[in-house]
């Protein structure tokens, strides 16, 4: 069997006891991460991290108190970043309205027209229209906020792709990854990340972005993003989410691991579907080390777009998972070794103001090059996590031979939580 081994990762001062799959791959990954970090900091320069925040996106607001997706989410993040001195260290950016032609590249014209006109309706019509869709609300500020959110992710992605920024964070709302081609869904009006990905691939060939890795760590499956690139081998879509055998939102079978893409895109859609709540740092690290990172190495993306939902964070009762702020920091650190560290974080879910603020702050500090230490009480993944990872690897090994090898044996695992 493979015993535990102490691995020092790229984040200075960080140590985490875990079971690596391949010592050599771990070594090569660390060297690549160090090289990327060196490139970003050459000549002693600090990384240029873009931070986009615009109060106009607070105008999308629910009429009642029962909604979870509220303006307070952004306010809490901004207060935390300001208090920690992060805002002054980043390159501040203001939102831009997306052009309709870019939104229409992934959404039906009827859908674009609906969102553009929705805020002109009176309150009764807003409620009536919202009831036609799954888990959305509309307000007088919804139209502008949606166009700003989409435009913001385009803006930061363009600047990172062009090398003007090392990486960037787009604090946007409403979120986007549930929005389908023809309908809003799950708090999402436009699919912000999908719009930005399509823009880079099809509108700006001069930037040299030919392959995009989209990582969706929101606790819910990124159904909209999956469907938009399901047959496109230029986009590797990876979503790790609660599935609960189809009993967790969005309650759709295509969040299963057997949905791997279609036509020339087969193998480029990867779902890691957790079977229950309470997954934490060790479970996500296992998914990274044994699925995402080996495939990302082979895919070799030109940029990474991160659908950064934080509803799998400890304290967020909607997701009921247990990722710590520094757990998110570690997941992000592991991605910095790819695409020369060019990462765009676009906010998705996350509904506990304290949890989302602490998690975003930890990620921002990673992009800025700060040290962090992981102190996680759950140092072993669940038995179910190991089983899911094996199923995912078996489903994909034909397309990604790097997944054909055996997982480590004699790994210390936790039993499935009881309810």
pLDDT at 238: 98
Residue of 60, 178, 221, 257 with catalytic role: 178
d(CA 315, CA 36): 33
Locate the domains of the chain by residue range.
46-403
pLDDT score recorded for residue 25: 52
Q: Express each pLDDT in 334-385 by its tens digit.
A: 999 999 999 999 999 999 999 999 999 999 999 999 999 877 665 799 999 9
pLDDT in tens, 313-322: 999 999 999 9
Identify the residue with better confidence: 122 or 42: 122
| d(C-alpha 239, C-alpha 291), whole Å | 11
Mean pLDDT, residues 256-273: 98
User: What confidence score (pLDDT) does residue 419 get?
Assistant: 62
For the segment 190-217, the average pLDDT, to the nearest whole number, is 98
Distance set, CA 26 to CA 144, 211, 327 (Å) = 45, 23, 18
Q: For residue range 296-309, what is the model confidence (pLDDT) as tens digits?
A: 999 999 999 999 99
- Mean pLDDT along residues 257-282: 98
> Which residue, 218, 183, 196, is CA-closest to 348?
218
* More confident site: 22 or 128: 128
Residue 379: per-residue pLDDT: 73
Is the pLDDT reported for residue 8 higher than 90?
no
Computed on alpha carbons and rounded to an integer, the radius of gyration of the chain in Å comes to: 20
**For the chain, what percent of residues have pLDDT higher than 90?**
84
Q: What is the pLDDT of residue 172?
A: 98
Find the mean pLDDT for residues 225-242: 98
Helix axes 325-335, 23-40, angle to 10 degrees: 90
- C-alpha 399 chain-centroid distance: 23
pLDDT at 365: 98
pLDDT for 45-100, tens place per residue?
A: 789 999 999 999 999 999 988 899 999 999 999 999 999 999 999 999 999 999 99
Any idea which residue has 């909607």 for tokens?
318
- Give yes or no for residue 119 having a pLDDT over 90: yes
pLDDT-above-70 percentage for the chain: 89
Q: Is residue 178 annotated as a catalytic residue, yes or no?
A: yes
pLDDT at 184: 98
238-262: pLDDT as tens digits: 999 999 999 999 999 999 999 999 9
Instruction: Please state the pTM of the whole predicted model.
Output: 0.91
3-state secondary structure (DSSP) of residue 269: strand
CATH superfamily, domain at 46-403: Histone deacetylase domain (3.40.800.20)
Tell whether the model's pLDDT for residue 186 goes beyond 60: yes
Tokens of 257: 């691991």
Q: Which two tokens stand for residue 54?
A: 């615009």
């Amino acid at each position: 069997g493979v015993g535990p081994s102490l691995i020092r990762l790229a984040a200075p001062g960080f140590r985490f006891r875990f079971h690596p799959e391949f010592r050599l791959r771990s070594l090569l990954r660390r060297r690549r991460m160090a090289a990327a970090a060196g490139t970003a900091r050459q000549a002693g320069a600090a990384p240029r991290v873009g931070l986009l925040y615009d109060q106009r996106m607070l105008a999308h607001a629910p009429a009642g108190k029962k909604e979870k997706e509220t303006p307070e989410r952004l306010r809490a993040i901004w207060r935390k970043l300001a208090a920690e001195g992060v805002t002054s260290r980043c390159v501040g950016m203001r939102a831009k309205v997306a052009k309709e032609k870019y939104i229409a590249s992934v959404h039906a014209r009827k859908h674009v027209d609906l969102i553009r006109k929705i805020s002109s309706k009176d309150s009764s019509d807003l409620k009536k229209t919202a009831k036609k869709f799954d888990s959305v609300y509309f307000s007088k500020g919804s139209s502008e906020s949606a166009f700003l959110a989409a435009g913001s992710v385009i803006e930061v992605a363009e600047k990172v792709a062009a090398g003007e920024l090392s990486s960037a964070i787009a604090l946007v709302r409403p979120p986007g990854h549930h929005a389908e081609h023809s309908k809003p869904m799950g708090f999402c009006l436009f699919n912000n990340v999908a719009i930005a990905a399509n823009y880079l691939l099809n509108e700006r060939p001069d930037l040299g972005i030919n392959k995009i890795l989209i990582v969706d760590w929101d606790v819910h499956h990124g159904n909209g993003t999956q469907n938009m690139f399901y047959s496109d081998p230029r986009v590797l879509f990876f979503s790790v989410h609660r599935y609960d055998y189809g009993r967790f939102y969005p309650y759709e079978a295509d969040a299963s691991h057997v949905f791997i893409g279609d036509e020339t895109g087969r193998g480029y859609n990867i779902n890691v579907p957790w079977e229950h709540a309470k997954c934490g740092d060790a479970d996500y690290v296992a998914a990274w080390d044994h699925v995402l990172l080996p495939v990302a190495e082979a895919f070799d993306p030109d940029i990474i777009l991160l659908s950064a939902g934080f509803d799998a964070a400890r304290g967020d009762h909607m997701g009921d998972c247990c990722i710590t702020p520094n757990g998110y920091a570690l997941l992000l650190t592991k991605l910095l070794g790819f695409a020369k560290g060019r990462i765009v974080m676009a906010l998705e879910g996350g509904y506990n103001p304290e949890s989302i603020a602490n998690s975003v702050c930890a990620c921002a500090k990673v992009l800025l090059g700060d040290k962090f230490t992981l102190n996680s009480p759950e140092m072993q993944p669940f038995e179910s996590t190991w089983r899911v990872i094996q199923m995912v690897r078996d489903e994909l090994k034909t397309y990604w031979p790097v997944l054909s090898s055996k997982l480590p044996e004699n790994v210390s695992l936790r039993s499935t939580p009881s309810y």
